[in-house]
Structure 1
Amino acid sequence: MSYLVLFVDDDKSILKSIRRELMDTDFDSFFVESGEEALNFLKDNKVDIIVSDMMMPNMDGTELLKNVKRLYPHIVKVVLSGYADQKMIFKLINSNLAKAFINKPWKENELEDTIHDIIKINDKLNNANLKEIINSSNKLPDLTSVYNKISNLIEDETSEVDDIIKLINTDQVIASKILRVVNSAFYGVKTGSIKAAVLNLGLVNLKSIIITSQVFDLKDGYYENLLWKHSSLTNILTIKLYEHIYKNRIPDIYATAGLLHDIGKVVLLKIFDRQYNKVISMKEDNSEIILSAIEKSTFDFNHEEIGSILLNYWELPASIVEVALNHHNPEESSKQFKEIVCIVHLADYYSWKYLNTKFVTQVKEEAFDYLGVTESDINYFLKNKTFEV
């Protein structure tokens, strides 16, 4: 498949530079100088990816991407912007108005590499068979009511935090489930108040927390409880490892990265209960077996694939989707999110190790190398630490 990429920027010299740099690529590039021109181009052409500048006269990048999301939801949206716009960029990514960003000025090959990363990930997320399984299942949670209303409020720049809190509190079942997630999966956060939870963790993480609270509504079985403990602990370890490695608070956009990394296993349990329990038993009988490999031979797909497709369908930020897709193979992740994928990869490994089960995953040396740490360093950091799960 040949991808068509549309670049939008009011600066002709920028477009000229992009055109020159992408002259010999394996995707087709087109160029327009305004949001209005972009929308006219989209009417007559099947565009796969749009890369838009933010600061443009008349119709700025945010307005353009909102229109693209409404009219052409299949198009992957990318922000092209200066370093000064970082706060706005992260807001666009977390409201699902953009899947990735490219900084101005970009480094050599960064533009082409980013587009190729997007194409590679997008191909994996467009598995028609898996989409059909998800769409035809009646065993997955219905997120159409409160979740959609909250998503709309988060994206609405005129809405207040209190509006969102009030909406959550209208459904005490969802409110109590949200508090369960918050109190279990965030190290040091213990609260009985939705408002305190939201103010502490930020609106950025609310969609992930709501999905977690709904998806992990499983029957009370051994593996179901173990999977919940593992996901909660993985999130706690993700936060602690990030802070240890970078000596800084984890960015809000990554604070729920560990929560939904194994959502594919939950989906498999819900849709293929008996079959998947047999797969789990095979892993318990032989800890050397790689779980993803058994899943692939049984279902023709694994938990990483179906989990990431579902999260993408539910419009979670690209970083959360990519963690679900590549947490066992961080070397396959895009450069943009490799940092958080590597950290969750390690958190996943140490979480299973801490829980002392046969589900301990393989740890990749590449993750330690990329993060600039050693296995002995992480082992020493975690030594004698206790975590409430």
Structure 2
Amino acid sequence: MRTILFVDDEVNILRAIRRMFRNAGYECYYASNIEEAVQVLIGAENLDMLVTDIKMPNFDGIRLLKLFKEATPTTIRVALSGYASTASITEAISKNLAKQYFFKPWDNNDFLENIQKVFALEDKFVQMGLFQAIQDFERIKTFPKLFDRVNQLVQKDAGIEDICHVIEEDMAMTSNILRIANSAFYAAKTGDLQQAIMYIGLNNLKQLILSYEIATMNDRKYVKANALWHHAVTSNLIFHDLYERFYKRKVPPIIGSAGLLHDLGAIIMLQIYGTDYYRKLIQPKLSEEDLVREEENYFKMNHAVVGGYFLNWWAFPMDLVEMALYHHDPREEGIIHREEVALMCIASHMAKDEIRFMRPSVFDALDILHIKEDFLKPTYEKFQDEIMGWHDE
């Protein structure tokens, strides 16, 4: 039986959660402060999940997440917060302290269902048999070095100057960050790395470094990753535009670089399978659906599964894991952030100029979002140069 520890300093909240989970099929523990939470951690044989409020007057939930990350890293950490405290959620996610987050007040049915989906995703990766097949990917399981160093600095609340000093040791990464910051999207117009990072944001910076480092893991294959990199950057631009037009607000920092990571699995597969993967799958510039089918035909796995697996392994937020894993199939059962996945599905197809052909998954995405094809036209026209550029890579 799965075990969950709920932590909140409000007795009424804990009482409501206790009622909600009474017959849910989990072994649940409850704590109203850090001391009680630590006692549960010590006494319980195993804790599968920690669900804690992170904005409490009597103690700091961020500190509790850090404690659990160090003491029991396999425990899934979930943050709770009111809508007025989104900064706390962003901090928890950017420091890899929480995998999932929920806002108060919540709908009881949605809350229960989403907890179940978090566990179901963990089970899904086991059932896929990836743990045996993934042995060929062993060297990628560890965080790329620069990403790991920057991630550690962010977790320690290091200043921008310290982070810049580390990044400046890698001239290629420095120039790439400046290029992204000065692009039409960020329009930073700066040659200063510190200013560029402030434009991009720390969370986006980490995701950018991760994607770039994996793409350049083997220098002789990097040139062959150009088309993948172009697709990722264009997808990210389109995703932002669609998101902002659909929700009428900016993309949250937590998923600000979702487009850069949604096809991370393809970059990883290129690193592993090299020329064979490039010649059969990248060079022909296959459609999204054809790419997945041919990957499974040749390699018995596809890039969406590989990308989702590694982002999950590295404890990235559930939003990003789902957008990587399901962007080819937004109707897949068990998705929590279905609208975000649907937007990423459209963005990925549009970046390859496939919207004109309206693939089945795009129709599914439009249905999920309750929008018509005409909604896509302004975004398509806005990024037409970037979209057409993919054919030239």
TM-score tier (shorter):
0.7 to 0.9
2:357 corresponds to 1:366: no
2:128 corresponds to 1:120: no
Change (3 A) 1:384 1:74: closer
CA contact (8 A) 1:201 1:252 kept: no
CA contact (8 A) 2:77 2:99 kept: yes
Q: Separation in 2 of the partners of 1:335 and 1:86? A: 22
Post-superposition shift, 1:143? 4.4
Q: Which residue of 2 aligns with 1:77?
A: 77
Q: Which residue of 2 aligns with 1:229?
A: 230
Q: Which residue of 2 aligns with 1:105?
A: 105
Q: Deviations over 1:263-304 (max 9, x none)?
A: 1111111112255346528x9598696332332344332211
Q: Which residue of 1 aligns with 2:192?
A: 193
Change (3 A) 1:224 1:70: same
CA contact (8 A) 1:185 1:233 kept: no
2:277 corresponds to 1:276: yes
Q: Which residue of 2 aligns with 1:53?
A: 53
Q: Separation in 1 of the partners of 2:275 and 2:252? A: 39
2:380 corresponds to 1:379: no
TM-score by length of 1: 0.86
Post-superposition shift, 1:376? 2.0
Q: Which residue of 1 aligns with 2:343?
A: 343
Q: Deviations over 1:197-236 (max 9, x none)?
A: 2111111211101112212226468863322221111111
Q: Deviations over 1:238-257 (max 9, x none)?
A: 12222222333322222211
Higher share of residues assigned helix:
2
Question: SS of the residue aligned with 2:385?
Answer: coil
Question: SS of the residue aligned with 1:332?
Answer: coil
Question: SS of the residue aligned with 2:364?
Answer: helix
Post-superposition shift, 1:123? 2.1
CA contact (8 A) 1:185 1:259 kept: no
Question: SS of the residue aligned with 2:108?
Answer: coil
Q: Deviations over 1:111-159 (max 9, x none)?
A: 20120121122223456853455565466497454322211211223x2
Q: Which amino acid aligns with 1:100?
A: Q
Change (3 A) 1:235 1:130: same
CA contact (8 A) 1:348 1:361 kept: no
Q: CA RMSD in A?
A: 3.2
Q: Deviations over 1:167-194 (max 9, x none)?
A: 2113323323433455569464565432
Q: Separation in 2 of the partners of 1:380 and 1:77? A: 39
Change (3 A) 1:309 1:5: same
Task: Write out aligned runs for 1:213-228 (5 A).
Answer: 213-217=212-216, 219=220, 224-228=225-229
CA contact (8 A) 2:215 2:271 kept: no
Question: SS of the residue aligned with 2:261?
Answer: coil
Q: Number of residue pairs matched?
A: 384
Q: Which amino acid aligns with 1:244?
A: R
Q: Separation in 1 of the partners of 2:133 and 2:143? A: 17
Task: Write out aligned runs for 1:223-302 (5 A).
Answer: 224-277=225-278, 279-280=280-281, 284=284, 290-302=290-302
Structure 1 stretches of 5 or more lacking a match?
Answer: none
Question: SS of the residue aligned with 2:92?
Answer: helix
Deviation larger for 41-50 or 258-267? 41-50
